[in-house]
Amino acid sequence: ETLQLPSGGGTLAPLASPSFTGNVGIGTANPDSTLHLKSSATNLPVLKLENTYESGGGTPSVAGNAPIIELYANDSGTGQPDSQELGIIEFRGSNKDTGAEELYTRIVGTNGDANSTGELKFQTQQSNTMTTALTIRGGNVGINNSSPTQRLETNGNAQFNAYDNGSGAGGYYTTKGFQIGNAFDAGLSGGNDDRNAIVWNERGTDLLFGTTNLERLRIDYAGNVGIGVTPETWGTNGDF
């Protein structure tokens, strides 16, 4: 059955009864999901949830009264097994080459493991396959790692791009930076053991180490090492 509501006013009948099992469309006469909102206007459709509750003195209360979007996977039998998907937010678009609808990114919430550890997985499409790029598991974050056991755990190198000039005004030098990781992922294979751990500065700049907000050790761009001295006094205080 189809129930159409007038857009210009008039008497509205109840939209559905408890036994209603069809789809509802707003902006479309052919909804293909339980609730289908459609618009050809810029930045529409928008789904807005607003809470106007006020606690004494007319001041809006923000503690416990904010609108909620709840995704609930209800297994009324034995409950959800470990690592089950409880809710998914998907980002889809039409493929520019085929025109077909395609899934590009999504956020997945799971119930983790037997220790009631919640998970959020951020997934992106790579070569037509959805790949988990980032996982938040309990209080740990994994990058290219779906089961992080540390506060931050990454499979692969971390690179921090350097500025392209001394003042930083020119923006980031996107092809060179500072890497921490392994020789293989840094492209330093060959003369090096691919398993070697590296702290690697790709640019011709100094590498500094400090404690208590003070410089303690410096390796300059030419390979000289100074301990407890500034570059201007190198060679005068027993440094090397």
The band of 128, judged by pLDDT with boundaries at 50, 70 and 90, is confident
The band of 57, judged by pLDDT with boundaries at 50, 70 and 90, is low
- Under a CB-based contact definition with an 8 Å cutoff, are residues 110 and 103 in contact? no
Mean pLDDT of 182-195: 78
**Any residues with CB less than 8 A from the CB of 218 and at least 6 apart, and which?**
206, 207, 208, 209, 225, 226, 231
Neighbours of 218 (CB within 10 A): 20
Tokens, residue 79: 């409950």
Higher pLDDT, 69 or 78: 69
Higher pLDDT, 188 or 109: 109
Longest CA–CA span in the chain (Å) reads 93
Segment 197-240, tens digit of pLDDT: 889 888 888 899 999 999 899 998 888 888 887 666 665 555 55
Alpha carbons 229 and 216: distance in angstroms, whole number: 7
Q: Is 210 exposed, middle or buried (0-12, 13-18, 19+ CB in 10 A)?
A: exposed
pTM of this prediction exceeds 0.85: no
Q: Whole-number mean pLDDT of the chain?
A: 81
Per-residue pLDDT at 46 exceeds 80: yes
The pLDDT value recorded for residue 74 is 83
Bridge partners (DSSP) of residue 198 are 181
The pLDDT value recorded for residue 125 is 93
**Any residues with CB less than 8 A from the CB of 192 and at least 6 apart, and which?**
183
| Backbone angles phi and psi of 37, in degrees to 5 | -105, 135
Per-residue pLDDT at 134 exceeds 90: yes
Alpha carbons 24 and 13: distance in angstroms, whole number: 14
Segment 1-20, tens digit of pLDDT: 555 655 555 554 455 555 56
Alpha carbons 123 and 134: distance in angstroms, whole number: 7
The band of 73, judged by pLDDT with boundaries at 50, 70 and 90, is confident
Q: How far is CA 190 from CA 180, 186, 198, in A?
A: 18, 12, 15
The pLDDT value recorded for residue 92 is 93
Neighbours of 21 (CB within 10 A): 7
Mean pLDDT of 150-175: 80
Alpha carbons 24 and 14: distance in angstroms, whole number: 13
